[in-house]
Protein backbone atom coordinates (compact mmCIF):
# COMPACT_ATOMS: atom_id res chain seq x y z
CA UNK A 1 0.00 0.00 0.00
CA UNK A 2 1.17 3.52 -0.80
CA UNK A 3 2.56 5.35 2.23
CA UNK A 4 0.17 8.22 1.56
CA UNK A 5 -2.48 6.12 3.29
CA UNK A 6 -0.63 5.58 6.58
CA UNK A 7 -3.41 7.66 8.15
CA UNK A 8 -5.83 5.01 6.86
CA UNK A 9 -7.67 7.52 4.69
CA UNK A 10 -8.82 5.80 1.52
CA UNK A 11 -9.72 7.28 -1.85
CA UNK A 12 -13.40 6.53 -1.25
CA UNK A 13 -13.36 8.27 2.14
CA UNK A 14 -11.72 11.38 0.73
CA UNK A 15 -14.04 11.28 -2.29
CA UNK A 16 -17.07 11.28 0.00
CA UNK A 17 -16.05 14.77 1.15
CA UNK A 18 -16.49 16.03 -2.42
CA UNK A 19 -20.06 17.17 -1.94
CA UNK A 20 -20.19 20.50 -3.75
CA UNK A 21 -19.79 20.92 -7.49
CA UNK A 22 -17.34 23.82 -7.43
CA UNK A 23 -16.55 23.46 -11.15
CA UNK A 24 -19.91 24.99 -12.07
CA UNK A 25 -19.18 28.16 -10.12
CA UNK A 26 -17.92 31.32 -11.81
CA UNK A 27 -16.40 34.53 -10.45
CA UNK A 28 -19.78 36.08 -9.68
CA UNK A 29 -20.78 32.97 -7.70
CA UNK A 30 -17.63 33.17 -5.58
CA UNK A 31 -18.13 36.85 -4.79
CA UNK A 32 -21.78 36.21 -3.90
CA UNK A 33 -20.76 33.32 -1.66
CA UNK A 34 -18.21 35.53 0.10
CA UNK A 35 -20.72 38.34 0.76
CA UNK A 36 -23.55 35.97 1.77
CA UNK A 37 -21.11 34.36 4.19
CA UNK A 38 -19.89 37.63 5.70
CA UNK A 39 -22.75 40.10 5.80
CA UNK A 40 -24.98 38.19 8.25
CA UNK A 41 -22.14 38.70 10.72
CA UNK A 42 -21.58 42.41 10.15
CA UNK A 43 -23.06 43.06 13.60
CA UNK A 44 -19.76 41.84 14.99
CA UNK A 45 -17.46 44.84 15.21
CA UNK A 46 -14.46 42.80 14.05
CA UNK A 47 -15.88 41.65 10.70
CA UNK A 48 -13.66 42.80 7.84
CA UNK A 49 -13.23 42.70 4.08
CA UNK A 50 -10.35 43.45 1.73
CA UNK A 51 -8.50 42.96 -1.54
CA UNK A 52 -5.39 40.96 -2.40
CA UNK A 53 -2.91 40.39 -5.21
CA UNK A 54 0.28 38.45 -5.73
CA UNK A 55 2.65 36.36 -7.78
CA UNK A 56 2.60 32.56 -7.99
CA UNK A 57 5.59 30.39 -8.96
CA UNK A 58 6.22 26.65 -9.29
CA UNK A 59 5.27 23.53 -11.25
CA UNK A 60 2.44 21.06 -11.61
CA UNK A 61 3.50 17.67 -13.01
CA UNK A 62 1.38 14.77 -14.27
CA UNK A 63 3.29 11.47 -14.63
CA UNK A 64 2.51 7.87 -15.45
CA UNK A 65 4.72 4.87 -16.23
CA UNK A 66 5.69 1.28 -15.60
CA UNK A 67 9.05 0.38 -14.07
CA UNK A 68 8.61 -3.23 -15.14
CA UNK A 69 7.93 -4.41 -18.72
CA UNK A 70 4.31 -4.37 -19.86
CA UNK A 71 2.79 -6.89 -22.29
CA UNK A 72 4.67 -5.29 -25.19
CA UNK A 73 7.96 -5.52 -23.29
CA UNK A 74 8.32 -1.75 -22.90
CA UNK A 75 9.37 -0.06 -19.68
CA UNK A 76 8.49 3.57 -19.96
CA UNK A 77 6.19 6.42 -19.15
CA UNK A 78 5.05 9.96 -19.78
CA UNK A 79 5.61 13.26 -17.97
CA UNK A 80 3.85 16.58 -18.60
CA UNK A 81 5.24 19.66 -16.84
CA UNK A 82 3.04 22.73 -16.40
CA UNK A 83 4.60 26.03 -15.37
CA UNK A 84 2.79 27.89 -12.57
CA UNK A 85 4.30 31.38 -12.83
CA UNK A 86 1.52 33.96 -13.03
CA UNK A 87 -0.03 36.99 -11.31
CA UNK A 88 -3.35 36.81 -9.45
CA UNK A 89 -5.82 39.05 -7.64
CA UNK A 90 -8.92 38.63 -5.51
CA UNK A 91 -10.90 39.47 -2.39
CA UNK A 92 -10.86 38.32 1.21
CA UNK A 93 -12.91 38.75 4.35
CA UNK A 94 -13.60 37.35 7.78
CA UNK A 95 -15.14 37.81 11.20
CA UNK A 96 -14.27 37.14 14.82
CA UNK A 97 -16.27 36.11 17.85
CA UNK A 98 -14.55 35.54 21.14
CA UNK A 99 -11.34 33.60 20.49
CA UNK A 100 -12.59 32.19 17.17
CA UNK A 101 -11.89 33.74 13.77
CA UNK A 102 -12.84 32.54 10.29
CA UNK A 103 -11.43 33.97 7.09
CA UNK A 104 -12.29 33.39 3.43
CA UNK A 105 -10.30 34.20 0.30
CA UNK A 106 -10.96 34.11 -3.42
CA UNK A 107 -8.12 34.54 -5.93
CA UNK A 108 -7.99 34.21 -9.70
CA UNK A 109 -5.94 35.05 -12.78
CA UNK A 110 -9.11 36.81 -13.96
CA UNK A 111 -8.68 35.59 -17.52
CA UNK A 112 -6.41 33.26 -19.48
CA UNK A 113 -2.77 34.35 -19.08
CA UNK A 114 0.54 33.08 -20.48
CA UNK A 115 3.18 31.36 -18.36
CA UNK A 116 6.80 30.51 -19.19
CA UNK A 117 5.97 27.29 -21.07
CA UNK A 118 5.18 23.58 -20.84
CA UNK A 119 6.76 20.27 -21.78
CA UNK A 120 5.39 16.84 -22.78
CA UNK A 121 7.90 13.98 -22.49
CA UNK A 122 7.66 10.25 -23.30
CA UNK A 123 10.54 8.21 -21.92
CA UNK A 124 12.15 4.81 -21.47
CA UNK A 125 12.91 3.45 -18.01
CA UNK A 126 16.09 1.46 -17.38
CA UNK A 127 17.64 -0.57 -14.60
CA UNK A 128 18.99 2.55 -12.87
CA UNK A 129 15.71 4.47 -13.18
CA UNK A 130 13.87 5.23 -9.95
CA UNK A 131 10.17 5.57 -9.17
CA UNK A 132 9.16 7.58 -6.12
CA UNK A 133 5.40 7.70 -5.67
CA UNK A 134 5.48 8.42 -1.94
CA UNK A 135 6.92 11.88 -1.31
CA UNK A 136 5.38 12.78 2.06
CA UNK A 137 4.68 10.53 5.04
CA UNK A 138 3.62 11.14 8.63
CA UNK A 139 4.76 7.81 10.07
CA UNK A 140 7.63 7.40 9.44
CA UNK A 141 8.11 11.13 9.00
CA UNK A 142 9.82 12.16 5.77
CA UNK A 143 9.50 14.61 2.91
CA UNK A 144 10.87 14.29 -0.62
CA UNK A 145 10.21 17.83 -1.80
CA UNK A 146 9.80 17.19 -5.52
CA UNK A 147 6.90 17.02 -7.93
CA UNK A 148 8.75 14.43 -10.07
CA UNK A 149 8.01 10.71 -9.76
CA UNK A 150 10.46 9.13 -12.22
CA UNK A 151 14.19 9.91 -12.50
CA UNK A 152 16.95 8.43 -14.63
CA UNK A 153 14.76 8.40 -17.74
CA UNK A 154 15.63 8.65 -21.45
CA UNK A 155 13.25 10.52 -23.72
CA UNK A 156 12.13 9.04 -27.04
CA UNK A 157 9.68 11.92 -27.62
CA UNK A 158 9.85 15.47 -26.31
CA UNK A 159 7.51 18.38 -27.03
CA UNK A 160 8.01 21.95 -25.80
CA UNK A 161 5.63 24.84 -26.37
CA UNK A 162 3.90 27.95 -25.14
CA UNK A 163 1.51 27.59 -22.23
CA UNK A 164 -1.57 29.49 -21.05
CA UNK A 165 -3.56 29.08 -17.84
CA UNK A 166 -6.82 30.17 -16.29
CA UNK A 167 -7.08 29.58 -12.54
CA UNK A 168 -9.34 30.33 -9.59
CA UNK A 169 -9.10 29.22 -5.97
CA UNK A 170 -11.13 29.70 -2.83
CA UNK A 171 -10.32 28.93 0.81
CA UNK A 172 -11.96 29.11 4.23
CA UNK A 173 -9.87 28.64 7.38
CA UNK A 174 -10.80 29.06 11.01
CA UNK A 175 -8.51 29.92 13.92
CA UNK A 176 -8.90 29.29 17.63
CA UNK A 177 -6.63 31.32 19.92
CA UNK A 178 -5.49 30.09 23.33
CA UNK A 179 -5.22 33.57 24.83
CA UNK A 180 -6.27 37.16 24.30
CA UNK A 181 -9.52 39.05 24.57
CA UNK A 182 -10.46 38.70 20.89
CA UNK A 183 -9.59 36.71 17.76
CA UNK A 184 -9.49 39.96 15.78
CA UNK A 185 -6.51 40.45 13.42
CA UNK A 186 -6.02 43.80 15.21
CA UNK A 187 -5.53 42.18 18.63
CA UNK A 188 -2.12 43.19 20.06
CA UNK A 189 -0.88 40.10 21.88
CA UNK A 190 1.65 37.28 21.37
CA UNK A 191 -0.28 34.00 21.21
CA UNK A 192 -0.64 30.49 19.80
CA UNK A 193 -3.59 29.32 17.72
CA UNK A 194 -4.99 26.21 16.04
CA UNK A 195 -6.26 26.44 12.47
CA UNK A 196 -8.42 24.22 10.28
CA UNK A 197 -10.35 24.52 7.02
CA UNK A 198 -10.22 23.79 3.31
CA UNK A 199 -9.08 25.20 -0.01
CA UNK A 200 -10.29 24.46 -3.52
CA UNK A 201 -8.72 25.32 -6.83
CA UNK A 202 -9.55 24.87 -10.47
CA UNK A 203 -7.22 25.51 -13.39
CA UNK A 204 -7.06 24.80 -17.10
CA UNK A 205 -3.93 24.76 -19.26
CA UNK A 206 -3.44 24.88 -23.03
CA UNK A 207 -0.09 23.83 -24.53
CA UNK A 208 0.28 25.32 -28.01
CA UNK A 209 2.91 26.30 -30.64
CA UNK A 210 4.56 22.98 -29.81
CA UNK A 211 7.86 21.88 -31.35
CA UNK A 212 7.99 18.09 -31.24
CA UNK A 213 10.99 15.74 -31.26
CA UNK A 214 10.50 12.03 -31.99
CA UNK A 215 13.37 9.55 -31.87
CA UNK A 216 12.01 6.80 -34.16
CA UNK A 217 11.63 7.75 -36.93
CA UNK A 218 13.63 10.90 -36.31
CA UNK A 219 11.45 13.99 -36.54
CA UNK A 220 11.64 17.54 -35.22
CA UNK A 221 9.21 20.29 -36.12
CA UNK A 222 6.11 22.27 -35.18
CA UNK A 223 2.86 20.40 -34.59
CA UNK A 224 0.59 23.25 -33.43
CA UNK A 225 -1.65 22.67 -30.39
CA UNK A 226 -0.39 19.85 -28.18
CA UNK A 227 -2.84 19.31 -25.34
CA UNK A 228 -5.21 20.80 -22.79
CA UNK A 229 -5.33 19.91 -19.10
CA UNK A 230 -8.17 20.63 -16.66
CA UNK A 231 -7.79 20.10 -12.92
CA UNK A 232 -10.09 20.54 -9.92
CA UNK A 233 -8.98 19.70 -6.42
CA UNK A 234 -10.07 20.13 -2.82
CA UNK A 235 -7.73 20.05 0.17
CA UNK A 236 -8.72 19.78 3.85
CA UNK A 237 -6.24 20.57 6.57
CA UNK A 238 -5.35 21.52 10.09
CA UNK A 239 -2.34 22.88 11.93
CA UNK A 240 -1.22 25.78 14.04
CA UNK A 241 0.68 29.04 14.22
CA UNK A 242 1.99 31.78 16.46
CA UNK A 243 1.70 35.57 16.39
CA UNK A 244 4.65 37.75 17.44
CA UNK A 245 3.43 41.27 18.25
CA UNK A 246 5.61 44.41 17.93
CA UNK A 247 3.31 47.38 18.45
CA UNK A 248 1.32 47.87 15.26
CA UNK A 249 3.48 45.30 13.45
CA UNK A 250 3.21 41.51 13.74
CA UNK A 251 4.84 38.37 12.33
CA UNK A 252 2.79 35.17 12.00
CA UNK A 253 4.41 31.84 11.00
CA UNK A 254 2.06 28.84 10.54
CA UNK A 255 1.97 25.29 9.21
CA UNK A 256 -1.01 23.25 7.94
CA UNK A 257 -1.03 19.56 6.99
CA UNK A 258 -3.34 18.79 4.05
CA UNK A 259 -5.32 15.82 2.76
CA UNK A 260 -6.26 16.28 -0.89
CA UNK A 261 -8.37 14.81 -3.66
CA UNK A 262 -8.43 15.90 -7.30
CA UNK A 263 -9.92 15.05 -10.67
CA UNK A 264 -8.34 15.84 -14.04
CA UNK A 265 -8.80 15.59 -17.80
CA UNK A 266 -5.74 15.54 -20.05
CA UNK A 267 -6.65 15.81 -23.78
CA UNK A 268 -4.05 15.23 -26.53
CA UNK A 269 -5.18 16.98 -29.70
CA UNK A 270 -2.87 15.13 -32.09
CA UNK A 271 -4.11 11.74 -30.88
CA UNK A 272 -7.71 12.77 -30.09
CA UNK A 273 -7.18 10.95 -26.79
CA UNK A 274 -8.43 11.78 -23.29
CA UNK A 275 -6.79 10.76 -20.02
CA UNK A 276 -9.47 11.08 -17.32
CA UNK A 277 -8.59 10.30 -13.73
CA UNK A 278 -8.55 11.06 -10.02
CA UNK A 279 -5.88 11.13 -7.33
CA UNK A 280 -5.54 11.60 -3.59
CA UNK A 281 -2.65 12.21 -1.23
CA UNK A 282 -0.98 14.47 1.30
CA UNK A 283 0.45 17.96 1.22
CA UNK A 284 1.10 21.00 3.37
CA UNK A 285 1.04 24.78 3.58
CA UNK A 286 3.98 26.55 5.21
CA UNK A 287 3.36 30.26 5.59
CA UNK A 288 4.78 33.40 7.14
CA UNK A 289 2.61 36.52 7.19
CA UNK A 290 3.46 40.03 8.29
CA UNK A 291 0.88 42.74 8.96
CA UNK A 292 0.83 46.39 9.92
CA UNK A 293 -2.05 48.35 11.46
CA UNK A 294 -2.39 51.56 9.47
CA UNK A 295 -5.27 52.56 11.73
CA UNK A 296 -7.75 50.96 14.11
CA UNK A 297 -9.83 49.99 11.05
CA UNK A 298 -7.28 49.23 8.32
CA UNK A 299 -4.46 46.68 8.09
CA UNK A 300 -1.84 45.95 5.41
CA UNK A 301 -0.59 42.38 4.89
CA UNK A 302 2.37 40.75 3.15
CA UNK A 303 2.80 36.97 3.15
CA UNK A 304 4.89 34.20 1.65
CA UNK A 305 3.25 30.77 1.32
CA UNK A 306 4.77 27.47 0.21
CA UNK A 307 2.18 24.96 -0.99
CA UNK A 308 2.75 21.27 -1.76
CA UNK A 309 0.31 18.55 -2.80
CA UNK A 310 1.58 15.07 -3.72
CA UNK A 311 -1.11 12.73 -5.07
CA UNK A 312 -1.34 9.34 -6.75
CA UNK A 313 -4.25 7.46 -8.28
CA UNK A 314 -5.63 6.07 -11.51
CA UNK A 315 -6.91 7.20 -14.89
CA UNK A 316 -8.73 5.78 -17.90
CA UNK A 317 -8.36 6.65 -21.56
CA UNK A 318 -11.15 7.58 -23.95
CA UNK A 319 -11.05 8.17 -27.69
CA UNK A 320 -7.93 7.91 -29.83
CA UNK A 321 -7.00 7.62 -33.51
CA UNK A 322 -4.64 4.63 -33.56
CA UNK A 323 -5.79 1.10 -32.77
CA UNK A 324 -3.51 1.04 -29.71
CA UNK A 325 -5.04 4.22 -28.30
CA UNK A 326 -8.60 3.02 -28.93
CA UNK A 327 -7.92 -0.37 -27.33
CA UNK A 328 -6.34 1.29 -24.28
CA UNK A 329 -9.81 2.54 -23.35
CA UNK A 330 -10.91 -1.07 -22.81
CA UNK A 331 -7.85 -2.10 -20.79
CA UNK A 332 -8.97 -0.85 -17.39
CA UNK A 333 -7.24 1.69 -15.17
CA UNK A 334 -3.66 2.94 -15.31
CA UNK A 335 -1.64 4.25 -12.37
CA UNK A 336 -0.48 7.85 -12.34
CA UNK A 337 0.03 10.88 -10.20
CA UNK A 338 -0.28 14.65 -10.25
CA UNK A 339 1.83 16.75 -7.90
CA UNK A 340 2.10 20.48 -7.28
CA UNK A 341 5.15 22.25 -5.89
CA UNK A 342 4.64 26.01 -5.70
CA UNK A 343 4.93 29.15 -3.61
CA UNK A 344 3.49 32.62 -3.82
CA UNK A 345 3.92 36.12 -2.45
CA UNK A 346 0.69 37.92 -1.61
CA UNK A 347 -0.04 41.53 -0.68
CA UNK A 348 -3.39 42.59 0.75
CA UNK A 349 -5.32 45.24 2.62
CA UNK A 350 -8.30 44.68 4.92
CA UNK A 351 -10.69 47.07 6.64
CA UNK A 352 -13.38 46.60 9.29
CA UNK A 353 -16.96 46.55 8.05
CA UNK A 354 -17.89 48.77 10.97
CA UNK A 355 -15.66 51.45 9.49
CA UNK A 356 -17.47 51.25 6.15
CA UNK A 357 -21.08 51.23 7.39
Query: Does the structure show a pLDDT above 70 at 7?
Result: no
What is the β-pairing status of strands 100-108 and 113-131? unpaired
User: Rounded to an integer, what distance in angstroms lies between the CA atom of residue 38 and that of residue 25?
Assistant: 18
Query: Could you report how far apart the first and last alpha carbons of the chain are, in Å?
Result: 56
- Per-residue confidence (pLDDT) for residue 311, from 0 to 100: 95
3-state secondary structure 26-51: CHHHHHHHHHHHHHHHCCCCCCEEEE
pLDDT tens column, 55-74: 999 999 999 988 776 655 67
pLDDT band at 126 (very low <50, low <70, confident <90, very high): confident
pLDDT tens column, 222-254: 999 999 999 999 999 999 999 999 999 999 999
pLDDT tens column, 168-179: 999 999 999 998
Query: Does the structure show a pLDDT above 70 at 322?
Result: yes
148 within 8 A of 77, measured Cβ to Cβ: no
Which residues are within 8 A (CB) of 156 and not within 5 positions of it... i.e. 6 or more apart? Answer: 76, 122, 123, 124, 214, 215, 216
SS3 category, 311: strand
SS3 category, 72: coil
> What's the mean pLDDT in 156-171?
95
Q: Which residue has the higher pLDDT, 75 or 274?
A: 274
> What's the mean pLDDT in 180-205?
94
pLDDT tens column, 279-310: 999 999 999 999 999 999 999 999 999 999 99
Lowest mean pLDDT among 5-14, 207-216, 331-340: 5-14
pLDDT tens column, 23-46: 445 555 555 555 555 555 445 557
User: Rounded to an integer, what distance in angstroms lies between the CA atom of residue 263 and that of residue 314?
Assistant: 10
Beta-strand runs (E) in 132-226: 136-137, 142-143, 150-177, 191-214, 219-224
Q: Which residue has the higher pLDDT, 3 or 57?
A: 57
- Sequential DSSP letters for 213-259: EETTTTEEEEEE--EEEEEEEEEEEEEEEEEEEETTEEEEEEEEEEE
Amino acid sequence: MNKFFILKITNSQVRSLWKFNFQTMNLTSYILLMFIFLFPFRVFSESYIGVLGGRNGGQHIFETGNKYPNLSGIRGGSRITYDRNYNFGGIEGGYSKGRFNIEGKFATTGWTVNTKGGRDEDFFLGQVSTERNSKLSISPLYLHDTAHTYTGTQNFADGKGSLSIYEQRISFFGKYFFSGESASPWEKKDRFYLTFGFRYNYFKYLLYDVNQFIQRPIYYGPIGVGLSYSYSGVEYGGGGGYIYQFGNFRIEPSFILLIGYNRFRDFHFQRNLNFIGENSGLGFISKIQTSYDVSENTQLRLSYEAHRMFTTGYFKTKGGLSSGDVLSGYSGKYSGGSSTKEAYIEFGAITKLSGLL
